[in-house]
Structure 1
Amino acid sequence: MSFTVLMYHEFRKRGDIDATSPSTISVEQQYQDALPKVLFSYIDDFKEQMMYLKTEGYHTLTLQEIKDFYEKGTQFPEKSVLLTIDDAFQSVYQYAYPILKELQFHAVSFVVLGWLSNEREYFDPSISKVMSKQELEEMLDVVELGNHTTHLHKRYPDGTSEMQATSLQELKKDLAECGEYVTYPDVFAYPFGIYAPKDIERLAETGIKYAFTTVPGVNTASTSVLELHRDTVTLGCTLENFKTIVEKGASK
């Protein structure tokens, strides 16, 4: 049995995005960065992709089903896919959530706790702003929450991340704080997809049981649960390309 994990970040209407330049992020904690436009999806493309999954009878997996598969050998429907959306940007609430709710689909949001604001703010499509806790919690009928650190989602010019630079003690503390808020404290996504073998060892010591990468590929019973594959759905992904991604993971 195998399954594919899809990764999304941001959503925009066509015409509301300049595909040639990164999008400045706006988060609660003091951190400056920009999100590459390749990590966006046009909302009409997203709706078409979700409608394809619905029409073709795909089952949207929960994290508990993933755990049961690896821990108990529990099987799930042949056509199954895990939908993941990183960082909890406002556009998820604005655009993706209504579509998922209408189709009765399930998704996972990997949350950087320190990025969430305490108050709702106006949606501005010109920047990548993270939503409020209230908005995120209003989506819990459709979305469950995974661990994406509290304050360690930062990257350095040398290609490493704050998660890698911090001490094991601080890493444990940070992940535990995020874990108190999210639905699944022991399910993690590597910030920016950056990790090395020593990071896998350190994660295991913190109590993280499952970790998702940004390395594409199909997951099987033999895939390392601390190196689970995810396929990025990129800006302008055609329906044919989308079909290729999801169909390769459909269990035969």
Structure 2
Amino acid sequence: MSLNVLMYHEFREPGELDSTQPSPISVEQQYQDALPTVLFSYLDDFKAQMNYLKTEGYHTLTLREIKDFYEKGVELPEKSVLLTFDDAFQSVYKYVYPILKDYEFHAVCFVVLGWLSQEIQLFDPKKSIVMSRQELKKMQDVFEFANHTTHLHMRHKNGTTEMQLTSLQELKEDLAKCGKYVDVPDVFAYPFGIYQSTDVKRLAESGIHYAFTTFPGVNTNKTPLLELHRDTVALGCTMEEFKTIIKRV
């Protein structure tokens, strides 16, 4: 039995996105960065992908089902996939949430608690704006929320992340704070997908039991639980490419 996990970030109508330029992020925390356009999806492509999953009878997994698979040996449905969305960008609320709700699909959002705004912001397709706490709460009938740190989702010029540079005690406190807010505190996604073996050990010591990377491939019952694979559904992903990812075993 194998497990496919899909990773998404941002969504745009075709005319809304300049694919030649990264998108500046806008977050509550004092942090400046830009999201590569490869991490976007065109809305029409996403609709087609979800329609394919629905038409083909795929089951969208919950984190409870993932845990039961690994901890209790409960088999997953033959056609199943875990849908994950990182960082809680506004476009997920604006575009994705209604589609998933219509299809009665389930999904996971990895939340950077310190990035959530206190007030709802106007949607601006020229920026990657993280949603408000109010918007996130409205998605609870479709999404469950997991840990993506509170204030440690920051990238440094030397290629490291704030999560890697902080002390173990500070890491524990940061993850615990986010954990009190999200639904599933012990399930984590590495910021920017960056990690080393020491980070895996520190996560285990901080009470994280499952962690998702950005390395592609299927997961089996032998995949390390703190190094689970995810396939990025990149900008311009064709249906044939999408089918190849989904049917990979």
Task: Tell me, in whole angstroms, the C-alpha distance in 2 between the residues paired with 1:112 and 1:35.
Answer: 15
Amino acid at match of 1:106: H
Give the structure 1 partner of residue 39 of structure 2: 39
The offset of 1:121, in angstroms, is 1.1
Task: Tell me, in whole angstroms, the C-alpha distance in 1 between the residues paired with 2:3 and 2:248.
Answer: 8
Q: Which secondary structure state, in structure 2, belongs to the residue aligned with residue 179 of structure 1? A: helix
Runs of 4+ in 1 over 2 A off after TM superposition: none
Give the structure 2 partner of residue 151 of structure 1: 151
Give the structure 1 partner of residue 90 of structure 2: 90
Amino acid at match of 1:32: Q
> Cα deviation per residue 1:191-228 (whole Å; 9 max; x = unaligned)?
00000000000000000000000000000000000000
Give the structure 1 partner of residue 111 of structure 2: 111
Give the structure 2 partner of residue 13 of structure 1: 13
Task: Tell me, in whole angstroms, the C-alpha distance in 2 between the residues paired with 1:231 and 1:76.
Answer: 18
Whether 1:200 and 2:200 are equivalent positions in the alignment is yes
Amino acid at match of 1:142: V
The offset of 1:158, in angstroms, is 1.2
> Cα deviation per residue 1:58-77 (whole Å; 9 max; x = unaligned)?
10000000000000001121
Give the structure 1 partner of residue 132 of structure 2: 132
Give the structure 1 partner of residue 26 of structure 2: 26
> Cα deviation per residue 1:115-148 (whole Å; 9 max; x = unaligned)?
0001111111110000000100100000000100
Q: Which secondary structure state, in structure 2, belongs to the residue aligned with residue 6 of structure 1? A: strand
Amino acid at match of 1:115: W
Report the TM-score, using the length of structure 1 for normalisation: 0.98
Task: Tell me, in whole angstroms, the C-alpha distance in 1 between the residues paired with 2:201 and 2:120.
Answer: 38
Give the structure 2 partner of residue 218 of structure 1: 218
Report the TM-score, using the length of structure 2 for normalisation: 0.99
Task: Tell me, in whole angstroms, the C-alpha distance in 1 between the residues paired with 2:52 and 2:110.
Answer: 24
Task: Tell me, in whole angstroms, the C-alpha distance in 2 between the residues paired with 1:63 and 1:47.
Answer: 23
Give the structure 1 partner of residue 122 of structure 2: 122
Task: Tell me, in whole angstroms, the C-alpha distance in 2 between the residues paired with 1:248 and 1:54.
Answer: 18
Task: Tell me, in whole angstroms, the C-alpha distance in 2 between the residues paired with 1:67 and 1:162.
Answer: 28
> Cα deviation per residue 1:48-96 (whole Å; 9 max; x = unaligned)?
0000000001100000000000000011210110000000000000000
Task: Tell me, in whole angstroms, the C-alpha distance in 2 between the residues paired with 1:218 and 1:85.
Answer: 17
The 5 A counterparts of 1:46-65 are 46-65=46-65
The offset of 1:157, in angstroms, is 1.1
Amino acid at match of 1:63: L
The offset of 1:3, in angstroms, is 1.1
Aligned length: 249
Q: Which secondary structure state, in structure 2, belongs to the residue aligned with residue 220 of structure 1? A: coil
Task: Tell me, in whole angstroms, the C-alpha distance in 1 between the residues paired with 2:104 and 2:158.
Answer: 42
Task: Tell me, in whole angstroms, the C-alpha distance in 2 between the residues paired with 1:107 and 1:231.
Answer: 15
Percent pairwise identity: 73
Amino acid at match of 1:51: N
Give the structure 2 partner of residue 68 of structure 1: 68
Q: Which secondary structure state, in structure 1, belongs to the residue aligned with residue 203 of structure 2? A: helix
Give the gaps of 5 or more residues in structure 1.
none
The 5 A counterparts of 1:153-172 are 153-172=153-172
Question: For the aligned residues, what is the CA RMSD?
Answer: 0.5
Q: Which secondary structure state, in structure 2, belongs to the residue aligned with residue 38 of structure 1? A: helix
Task: Tell me, in whole angstroms, the C-alpha distance in 2 between the residues paired with 1:121 and 1:6.
Answer: 27
Give the gaps of 5 or more residues in structure 2.
none
Amino acid at match of 1:204: A
Amino acid at match of 1:207: G
